[in-house]
Amino acid sequence: MVELTDDELLAELGVAVEAKPARAYTPQQERIIAGFEDILKFHDEHGRAPQHGEQRDIFERLYAVRLDRLRELADCRSLLAGLDKHGLLEANTDASHIVPDALDDDALLAELGIDPDGDNDITQLRHVQTREERRAAEEIALREVCVDFEAFKPLFAAVKDDLDKGHRETREFQRTAEIKQGEFFIVGGQIAYVAEIGEEFVTEYDRKDRRTRIIYDNGTEGKVLARSLQKALYRDGAGRRITNPSAGPLFANESDEDDSESGTIYVLRSKSDHRQITQHRDLIHKIGVTGGSVTARIASAENDATYLLAGVEIIAEYKLFNINRTKLEKLIHRFFADAAYDIQITDRFGKLVRPREWFLVPLHVIDEAVERIKNGTITEFRYDPTTATIEKVVL
């Protein structure tokens, strides 16, 4: 005879079995539950409640303090009643009969993460992870071999090269920052690449999230939630975001009160009567960055091969604030590299020279490039010298 479960028996009798909805807890309740689960785990491992005493392990002493506070709060006892399989919340358990630490209670509470001046509010626990946060940490730790890692190796090599050359930087990860496909991070000591991001869905905690595929530079990968990666990056003391080569905003035309002026992007037009220059004078521009006065910089242009041994006029200037001038100049020159104007002239000593930083680019295109650097979208575009336009990069 097949033994039926209670629910199956009720169904046979025609009694509808109503599934109990999963209880949703507030973040505050989650932390209280997670803190009590630490105490339950201690009991499972040692066969007794945590106890006070200077001879005890610091964690046991902290758990004992926590248990005392939980017993004192009726709301906590009510919340945890269904989890208290050992009866730890009852006043007559063994921990209640132990003499408290000689160590000052406030010192213990401070180590525990409870504010001693916070009216003994157990919700002030700062260092207890919620169950959701624990799952997030465990999820990050679960990795497997990336079978197609060869396809990603060049990306990691390029990023490391960019970091070495200063084209990219690492920045502290902000708690509310988003995770986007194609970005690089440093988490758990490994460079992580966001290879894929799935469709958005709503979690059991009524929060929007996405499943991602993360490739690590040690040849492993993990399929984790975007929020899990956010938490891991924020909690990892060494967790960092790796910037794009032109992560912005890089500068502004107007400064804020706390900004310090760093220099100027300048656009010059040559007054040379060289045949190659006169043919395209309105399109040939020298683009550079200086920390001083542009006027002073070009004062002796007629004697400098860099300026084609001729006078120049200033066509445009863009003030920089809080910016690395050298890196920005390299970025601009790299963006317009395909439009670099190749010209040879003879200097004062009869030597052939090829002046640099001259580009066959219309002024309005330079204006657009500067604006895209300013708003941080420059990496999404490229300059097409055949059409003299800035176009969206098609992946």
pLDDT tens digits, residue range 212-238?
899 998 888 888 888 888 877 877 777
Q: Residue 112: its pLDDT value, please?
A: 44
Same domain, 219 and 111: no
d(CA 247, CA 169): 9
Q: Is residue 248 part of a domain?
A: no
Full residue range of the structural domain in which residue 107 is found: 27-124
Q: Is residue 253 part of a domain?
A: no
d(CA 122, CA 89): 14
Average pLDDT score over residue span 84-93: 76
SS3 74: helix
Confidence check: pLDDT of 21 > 60? no
Same domain, 141 and 115: no
pTM: 0.38
Of 146-150, 253-257, 279-283, least confident by mean pLDDT is 253-257
Residues 6+ apart with CB under 8 A from 314: 266, 267, 268, 294, 295, 298
Task: State the pLDDT confidence band at 100, using cuts at 50, 70 and 90.
Answer: very low
Same domain, 338 and 299: yes
pLDDT higher for 319 or 249? Answer: 319
Q: Residue 17: its pLDDT value, please?
A: 45
Number of domains in the chain: 3
Task: State the pLDDT confidence band at 9, using cuts at 50, 70 and 90.
Answer: low
Output the average pLDDT for the chain: 75
Please give the DSSP secondary-structure letter assigned to residue 130.
P
Same domain, 87 and 156: no
Quick one: which H or E segment has residue 321?
strand 312-321
Q: Residue 6: its pLDDT value, please?
A: 55
pLDDT higher for 111 or 222? Answer: 222
Confidence check: pLDDT of 126 > 80? no
Same domain, 141 and 205: yes
Confidence check: pLDDT of 294 > 80? yes
* Domain finish residue from 214, 242, 270: 242
Q: Is residue 287 part of a domain?
A: yes
* Domain finish residue from 61, 94, 124: 124
Same domain, 144 and 238: yes
Same domain, 95 and 149: no
Q: In what order do the strands lie in the sheet with 284-290?
A: 312-321, 261-270, 284-290, 358-360
Q: Residue 260: its pLDDT value, please?
A: 45
pLDDT higher for 78 or 106? Answer: 78
Q: Is residue 225 part of a domain?
A: yes
Q: Is residue 233 part of a domain?
A: yes
Q: Is residue 353 part of a domain?
A: yes
Q: Residue 287: its pLDDT value, please?
A: 92
Average pLDDT score over residue span 80-104: 63
Residues 66/112, Cβ–Cβ less than 8 Å: yes
Same domain, 156 and 111: no
Most confident of 51-60, 126-135, 200-209, 302-311: 302-311
d(CA 49, CA 219): 44
Strands, E, within 73-167: which ranges?
A: 144-145
Q: Is residue 322 part of a domain?
A: yes
Q: Residue 193: its pLDDT value, please?
A: 92
pLDDT higher for 389 or 356? Answer: 389
* Domain finish residue from 105, 124, 143: 124
Q: Which residues pair with 316 in a beta bridge?
A: 267
Task: State the pLDDT confidence band at 371, using cuts at 50, 70 and 90.
Answer: confident
d(CA 321, CA 107): 46
Distance of alpha carbon 157 from its chain centroid, rounded? 20
Same domain, 296 and 215: no
Confidence check: pLDDT of 178 > 70? yes
Rounded to 10 deg, the angle between the 27-46 and 58-72 helix axes is 130
Each residue of 323-367: pLDDT tens digit? Answer: 777 888 888 888 898 888 888 777 777 777 778 889 989 888 998
Same domain, 266 and 388: yes
Same domain, 187 and 301: no
Same domain, 375 and 277: yes
d(CA 212, CA 187): 15
Task: State the pLDDT confidence band at 268, using cuts at 50, 70 and 90.
Answer: very high
Q: Is residue 21 part of a domain?
A: no
Residues 137/230, Cβ–Cβ less than 8 Å: no
Task: State the pLDDT confidence band at 23, using cuts at 50, 70 and 90.
Answer: low
Residues 251/322, Cβ–Cβ less than 8 Å: yes
